[in-house]
């Protein structure tokens, strides 16, 4: 059951696709303070709160404060309250289970037992929002209703489920060819090479540096013949430069965000000074979306959208103020107060909250201040692309994932979890984010394997790959100036080859479970507590997940560990994979077990009565064979629903895509 309550005059976010009749009167489960406008929900000691999509800390969100305020912040430490996404959906697992979706595009704060341990409070900057309450007998039932409310999730082309290699930056086509050759020469699977900002001409969207990439179309064609796609980045800001067609068209058609006086708002990002396309303006969105055709026509079949919180290095207005104040401070004997003022001035230049209150959007002819709808910016940038792909290539899937997001964007793309670090804690954070993102409709997801910032180690990258083989987006990405982390750059290249080879063996299962989650509005990654509802122990287990219907994973996420303890809520079969075609099997009883896990193997568990389809190892998705083998844990019978389609068209619902596999003993 879904109930809708309208408070004030909400902005239409278009996150919801179903029409729900508005109700009046008291709001169940939540008390609304008429003075503060705050929503309050009492929590019992044993209650668990799940959700909020992309965020720090655990799967159970109790004990901290979370903010929905899309933020460009690469240091995802425990004290950070917001990351790149704003996903205002959570479920309270109590005697009466219920879900809450706050459809509000501005800054919202969720205090989940932090200020007062027995209270969950929600506060917004103004009282204009739609509130949806969802009742259900179980958490999964509530999630399914919510997913039906917000619409079907995006489906990526099947090649995008192969291994991808990225780095800021591959500077020219010679380096890209060398990367591909090194993968092929070392017999390591590869389906995509990602191009960061240096492929562009002076960091300008929808341009190519003709000195370093003289024939992008030829390069894309050459690599595709080897089963490898090129996936370029697109940033939100448009460089201010005379003669640059995107800039000149945007100015002529008045498609950029404005300041208070109606002038184009000037900020700085990679190219220097830029204007921000007004993605909340339907006409501007259509205009920007059409620009992707420049790269589509050169054989590009996938993109990643970045810097779309929007990230601001500075605004021209605030930079002038900071420089003026620094000139004054330079003449002073800096004591502790003036020194910290200087430091705060400099640190506060980027992503300044006052800057977000200083520019405006044109929404159906109405002027709306950016901070009121801040969380919709990245969503609508990616929506611009997704809607354009429907017009430009209506029968073909185009890969798209974004950094910033709001609920609703899941219909147009996946996400990657942003600029993480080469930290063991971020490997664990990657694991814990997966169910929360699935709850909010984001299924094509993954983290920068090995970590984007800082320097990875061989063991960290191998352990991260052991998780990454199960995530739909499997991309290794690293920052300029960090240690190279292509698999062939390390001592044990063979270990990397075998782990990535296991990904291709698992692909029939990963793809089937992904498509089931899409088509049935379900989750692909589930906490054990969502399934083993009568087992009280699993409520506190956050480092083991069910992946689809058949398997459970329990990755190692501690440096120098040679294994870990695992709790099995039922009898399961342990699979120890050494390569795509070599594994060991062992049946383990329910209970606690210490499991050894070498760096060069992947260990997971098959549930009783379940099957796991396996393919042969391949160097890319295009070269995979159709013949499958099956691992099972059958007492008398094991069953599996296998989903197979052509991997690139959009006819997802054909009955012939499904095949029932049964093993009887």
CA distance 635 to 271: 62
CA angle, residues 641, 416, 620, in degrees to nearest 5: 55
**ω into 205 cis (within 30 of 0):** no
Which among 93, 235, 306, 371 is annotated as catalytic? 306
Please name the residues in contact with 15: beta carbons below 8 A apart, sequence gap of 6 or more: 103, 150, 406, 407, 408
Please name the residues in contact with 119: beta carbons below 8 A apart, sequence gap of 6 or more: 40, 41, 42, 43, 111, 113
38 class by beta-carbon count within 10 Å (0-12 exposed, 13-18 middle, 19+ buried): middle
CB distance 91 to 142 below 8 Å: yes
Which among 130, 201, 278, 309 is annotated as catalytic? 309
Q: Which two tokens stand for residue 62?
A: 């109790």
The strand pair at 637-643 and 658-664 is best described as antiparallel
Name the one residue in this structure whose structure tokens are 């396996």: 614
Backbone angles phi, psi at 382, to 5 degrees: -70, -35
CA distance 540 to 588: 21
Q: Which two tokens stand for residue 299?
A: 């054989």
CB distance 607 to 639 below 8 Å: no
Question: For the chain, how long is the longest CA-to-CA vector?
Answer: 86
Long-range contacts of 332-339 (CB under 8 A, 24+ apart): none
Cβ atoms within 10 Å of 186's Cβ, excluding its own: 15
CA distance 568 to 593: 8
CA distance 326 to 332: 10
Q: 52 — alpha (psi -120 to 50), left (phi > 0) or beta?
A: left
Which among 111, 201, 278, 419 is annotated as catalytic? 419
534 class by beta-carbon count within 10 Å (0-12 exposed, 13-18 middle, 19+ buried): exposed
CB distance 469 to 496 below 8 Å: no
CB distance 626 to 647 below 8 Å: no
Torsion of the alpha carbons at 358, 363, 366 and 372, rounded to the nearest 10 = -40
Backbone angles phi, psi at 613, to 5 degrees: -75, 140
Distance of CA 495 to the CA centre of its chain: 27
Q: 341 catalytic, yes or no? A: no
Q: 306 catalytic, yes or no? A: yes
> Catalytic amino acids?
306, 309, 419
């Amino acid at each position: 059951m879904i109930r809708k309550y309208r408070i004030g005059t909400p902005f239409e976010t278009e996150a919801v696709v179903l029409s729900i009749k508005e109700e009046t009167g008291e709001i169940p489960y939540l008390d609304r303070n008429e003075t503060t406008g705050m929503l309050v929900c009492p929590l019992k000691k044993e209650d668990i709160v799940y959700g909020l999509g992309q965020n720090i800390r655990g799967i159970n969100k109790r004990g901290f404060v979370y903010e929905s305020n899309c933020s460009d912040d690469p240091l995802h430490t425990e004290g950070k309250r917001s990351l790149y996404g704003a996903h205002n959906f959570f479920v309270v697992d109590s005697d009466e289970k219920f879900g809450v979706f706050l459809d509000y595009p501005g800054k919202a704060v969720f205090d989940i037992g932090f200020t007062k341990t027995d209270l969950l409070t929600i506060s917004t900057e103004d009282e204009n929002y739609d509130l949806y309450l969802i009742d259900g007998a179980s958490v999964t039932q509530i999630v399914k209703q919510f997913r039906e409310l917000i619409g079907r999730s995006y489906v990526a082309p099947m090649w995008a489920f192969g291994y991808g290699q990225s780095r800021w930056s591959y500077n020219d086509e010679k380096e890209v060819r060398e990367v591909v050759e090194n993968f092929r020469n070392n017999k390591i699977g590869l389906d995509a090479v990602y191009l960061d900002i240096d492929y562009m001409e002076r960091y300008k969207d929808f341009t190519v540096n003709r000195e370093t990439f003289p024939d992008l179309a030829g390069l894309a064609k050459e690599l595709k013949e080897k089963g490898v796609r090129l996936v370029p980045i697109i940033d939100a800001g448009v460089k201010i430069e005379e003669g640059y067609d995107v800039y000149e068209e945007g100015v002529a058609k008045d498609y950029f965000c404005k300041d208070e006086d109606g002038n184009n708002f000037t900020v700085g990002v990679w190219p220097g000074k830029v204007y921000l396309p007004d993605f909340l303006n339907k006409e501007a969105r259509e205009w920007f979306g059409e620009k992707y055709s420049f790269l589509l026509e050169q054989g590009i079949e996938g993109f990643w959208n970045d810097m779309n919180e929007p990230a601001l290095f500075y605004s021209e207005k605030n930079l002038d103020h900071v420089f003026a104040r620094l000139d004054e401070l330079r003449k002073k004997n800096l004591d502790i107060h003036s020194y910290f003022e200087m430091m705060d001035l400099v640190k506060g230049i980027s992503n300044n909250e006052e800057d977000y209150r200083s520019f405006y959007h044109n929404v159906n002819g109405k002027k709306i201040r950016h901070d009121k709808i801040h969380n919709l910016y990245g969503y609508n940038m990616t929506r611009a692309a997704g809607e354009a792909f429907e017009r430009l290539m209506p029968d073909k899937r185009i890969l798209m994932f974004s950094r910033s997001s709001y609920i609703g964007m899941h219909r147009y793309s996946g996400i990657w979890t942003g600029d993480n670090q080469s930290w063991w804690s971020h490997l664990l954070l990657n694991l814990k984010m997966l169910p929360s993102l699935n709850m909010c409709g984001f299924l094509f997801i993954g983290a920068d394997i090995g970590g984007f910032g800082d320097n990875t180690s061989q063991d960290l990258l191998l352990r991260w790959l052991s998780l990454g083989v199960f995530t739909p987006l499997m991309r290794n990405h690293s920052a300029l100036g960090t240690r190279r982390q292509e698999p062939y750059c390390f001592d044990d290249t063979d270990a990397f080859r075998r782990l990535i080879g296991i990904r291709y063996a698992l692909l029939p299962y990963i793809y089937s479970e992904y498509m089931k989650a899409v088509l049935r509005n379900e989750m692909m990654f589930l906490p054990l507590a969502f399934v083993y509802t009568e087992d009280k122990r699993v409520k506190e287990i956050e480092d083991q997940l069910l992946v689809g219907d058949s398997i459970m994973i329990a990755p190692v996420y501690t440096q120098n560990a040679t294994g870990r303890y695992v709790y099995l809520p039922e009898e399961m079969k342990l699979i120890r994979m050494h390569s795509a075609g070599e594994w060991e099997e062992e049946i383990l009883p329910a209970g606690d077990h210490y499991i050894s896990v070498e760096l060069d193997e992947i260990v997971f568990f098959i549930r009783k009565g379940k099957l796991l389809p396996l393919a042969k190892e391949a160097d890319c998705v295009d070269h995979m064979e159709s013949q499958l083998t099956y691992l099972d844990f059958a007492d008398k019978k094991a069953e599996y629903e296998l989903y197979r389609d052509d991997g690139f068209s959009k006819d997802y619902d054909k009955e012939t895509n499904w095949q029932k596999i049964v093993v009887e003993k």
